[in-house]
Chain A
Amino acid sequence: MTATTAATTATTMVLAEKVHKSFGHVEVLKGIDLEVGNGEVVCLLGPSGSGKSTFLRCINHLERIDGGRLSVDGELIGYRQNGDKLYEMHEREVAAQRRGIGMVFQRFNLFPHMTALENVMEAPVQVRKEAKASARVRSLELLERVGLGDKAGNYPAQLSGGQQQRVAIARALAMKPKLMLFDEPTSALDPELVGEVLDVMKDLAAEGMTMIVVTHEIGFAREVADTVVFMDGGVVVEAGKPSDVIGNPQHPRTQAFLSKVL
């Protein structure tokens, strides 16, 4: 049940093998296998509680996996392997790994005490120790790119949900990530604001960014995704091209889900 697109992409960006994750006695991920190629856009679909968000959060080690292997760009996430022994990474090493992985949250999670520009500048200045002047220029360019060049001085509370989420995308891009994770980026938005965020994401996909998107936007998945993965009950039920998984689902569980959301 591996979503293998190795035929179309040269290198592998994310490789998950039998990933397990439990919260207490509840096993949320029961062995996820997934391969995401460089430049590929993968959409994770599935009912709530299927483990798709948890899996996404494992990819940048916001959640620690209990079993299996998970690597990004050939590097194990959260662990170091020496022989056949695994060593837990130090907090600083985890932080260093996360620099290359951007994440966008359902609830935006912008820093409310900073302006849009300061939000975008924060990580380049604090983490990459970039000079403030150059970080400012680059951050303004990023805000321009998401269509918010004129909102640089606004605080998050002064922005609409859609604008906040676009700032959040610019903030993640400021670290020049090789991989972007989106955790239901439009689920907290008013319906009329969903489009502006999806447009930014489409542009990003067109530029060749590797993206993993947890979403309920079937239309977006059909249009933008190279691979659609349907998850349920902590396992990958079905994966493949959008035309197959969404257009002609094979598994009854996928069929049932899509018949309700389409």
Chain B
Amino acid sequence: MSAVVSAAPAASRPELITAVPVRRTGQWISAAVVVAIVALLVWSVATNENLQWSVVGDYLFDGSILRGAVTTIQLTVLSMVIGVVLGVVLAVMRLSANPVLSVVSNAYLWLFRGTPVLVQVVIWFNLALIFPTLGFGSFSVETNSVITTFGAALLALALNEAAYMAEVVRGGILSVDRGQTEAAHALGLTGSQTMRRIVLPQAMRVIVPPTGNELVTMLKTTSLVAVIGGTEMFGVAQAIGARDFTTFPMLIVACFWYLAMTSVLSYAQSKLERRFARGTQAGIANTPGTLQRLLGSRLPARTATPGGTR
């Protein structure tokens, strides 16, 4: 859509074509319909007294909500860090020639991907029901002193994430040309050196974008922790809503912050992807934005500028 005009001197070139673009009347009509529907919805929500907008305003920057948001971020970051590290280990195990390692890894994935993460959260929280104490021999501790609400949430989310990250990392590893491994082996590098020095650094290009996706997903998945009385943002918002009979306004507060956080992450992710795509495919840099796509047919040929506005 974005016709890139070459900057080369036009001395010996034929004149550039200046044609009247195809009229896309349908696009304009549908855009108008969409705008009308959205306006109607916004109006009905904004003027709805049951929503108690004043409560939303009161709690949007409330201390307990903000502390909940911080807990959400902590839980997200810690779960992802553990999930990525364990995921790399599981991926390498799964691709290993050692059958013990690959079977263990396969079983792990089968178990943790095959059960709902919500169920896993509840299981870790209730671990004390079947193992009142943890330890072996004379050393043992109360389960509930180790696995607090936050601990249970972290365990559940991190271990579940590891299973998904293992598949992401495996895809990355498999994307690296076999010749790389052969060249490293021919030089006398051992299997683990080859993985660490040669294969994984190259796999990163493939691993990073889906990991960004996983991070955004994780941020939202932390809300499941509310069911075990977690003090992350959604849990806090629900508790306040239940106490003050302001369920819906508190849901809006929570959604506002989730959207704010995922928007930041998505923006960072798109930046990161552009960075990693650099030099590989020219495509991404020239992908037109939505506005550009809609208006593109009305605009004469021009050089693509990111986020081009009129």
* Chain A residues within 8 Å of B, Cβ to Cβ: 60, 62, 91-92, 95-96, 98-99, 101-103, 105, 107, 109-113, 122-123, 126-127, 157, 168, 171-172, 175
Tell me the complex Cα distance, A95–B184, Å.
10
Does the CB pair B187–A123 fall under 8 Å?
yes
**8 nearest A-B residue pairs (beta carbon):** A109-B183, A99-B188, A123-B187, A103-B186, A109-B179, A127-B188, A98-B188, A95-B190
Within 8 A of A (CB), among B239-264: none
A210 to chain B, nearest CB (A): 16
Are the CB atoms of A127 and B189 closer together than 8 Å? yes
Residues of chain B within 8 A of A168, CB atoms compared: 183
For the complex, what is the distance from the CA of A168 to the CA of B183, rounded to whole Å? Answer: 9
Complex contact B186–A60 (CB within 8 A): yes
Which single member of A62, A99, A123, A171 contacts B182 (CB below 8 Å)? Answer: A62
B163-200, CB under 8 A of A: which get 1 and which 0? 00000000000000101101111111111010001100
Q: Is the CB of B183 within 8 A of A126?
A: no
Give 16 pairs: A residue, B residue, CB < 8 Å, sorted on A.
A62-B182, A62-B186, A91-B190, A95-B188, A102-B186, A105-B179, A105-B182, A105-B186, A109-B179, A110-B183, A111-B180, A113-B201, A122-B187, A123-B188, A126-B197, A172-B186
User: A98-B185, A109-B182 known; 20 other A-B pairs, CB under 8 Å?
Assistant: A62-B182, A62-B186, A95-B188, A99-B187, A102-B186, A109-B180, A111-B184, A111-B198, A113-B202, A122-B189, A122-B197, A123-B188, A123-B189, A126-B189, A126-B193, A127-B187, A127-B188, A127-B189, A157-B279, A172-B187
| Complex contacts, A122 vs chain B, CB 8 Å | 187, 189, 197
Do A91 and B188 contact each other (CB < 8 Å), given the known contacts A105-B182, A107-B179? Answer: no
Which B residues touch A99, using CB under 8 A? 187-188
In the assembled complex, the Cα of A228 lies from the Cα of B88 at a distance in Å of: 48
Q: How far is the CB of A189 from chain B (nearest CB, A)?
A: 16
Q: Which of B185, B189, B198, B202 contacts A62 (CB 8 A)?
A: B185
Residues of chain A with a CB closer than 8 A to B188's CB: 95-96, 98-99, 123, 127, 175
Bound CA–CA A123/B193 (angstroms): 10
Which residues of chain B come closer than 8 Å to A172, judged between CB atoms?
186-187
The distance in angstroms between the C-alpha atoms of A50 and B190, with both chains bound, is 30
**Closest Cβ of chain B: how far from A123's Cβ, in Å?**
4
Query: With A111-B198, A113-B202, A123-B188 in contact, is A105–B193 under 8 Å at CB?
Result: no
B193: chain A residues at CB < 8 Å are 126-127
Count of interface residues, chain B, beta-carbon cutoff 8 Å? 19
C-alpha spacing A237/B202, complex, angstroms: 42
Contact B185 A95 (CB under 8 A): yes
How far is it, in angstroms, between the C-alpha of A62 and the C-alpha of B188 when the chains are bound?
A: 11
Complex Cα distance, B181 from A95, in Å, reads: 12
Assembled-state Cα–Cα distance A109/B177 (Å): 9
Q: How far is the CA of A110 from the CA of B188 in the complex (A)?
A: 15
For B182, the chain A residues whose CB sits under 8 A away are 62, 105, 109
By the criterion CB–CB under 8 Å, are B202 and A95 in contact?
Answer: no
Which residues from chain B contact A103 at a C-beta distance below 8 Å? 183, 186
CA distance A109 to B182 in the complex (A): 8
Q: Identify which of A103, A109, A127, A172 gathers the most chain B CB atoms within 10 Å of its CB.
A: A109
Which residues in B have their C-beta under 8 angstroms from that of A98? 185-188
- Taking CB atoms, residues of chain B closer than 8 Å to A113 are 201-202
List, in ascending order, chain B residues with CB within 8 A of A101's CB: 186
Nearest CB of B to A116, in Å: 14
B193 nearest in chain A by CB position: A126
- Distance (whole angstroms) from the CB of B179 to the closest CB of chain A: 4
Return chain A residues, CB-CB under 8 Å to B186. 60, 62, 98, 101-103, 105, 172
User: Are B189 and A112 neighbours in the complex by a CB distance under 8 Å?
Assistant: no
- A156-B190 Cα distance, complex, nearest whole Å: 23
B212 to chain A, nearest CB (A): 20
Please indicate the chain B residues that have their CB under 8 angstroms from the CB of A107 in the complex.
179
Residue of B nearest to A62 (CB): B182
CB-CB under 8 A from A171, the residues of chain B are 187
Q: How far is the CA of A175 from the CA of B186 in the complex (A)?
A: 10
| Residues of B contacting A95 in the complex (Cβ-Cβ under 8 angstroms) | 185, 188-190
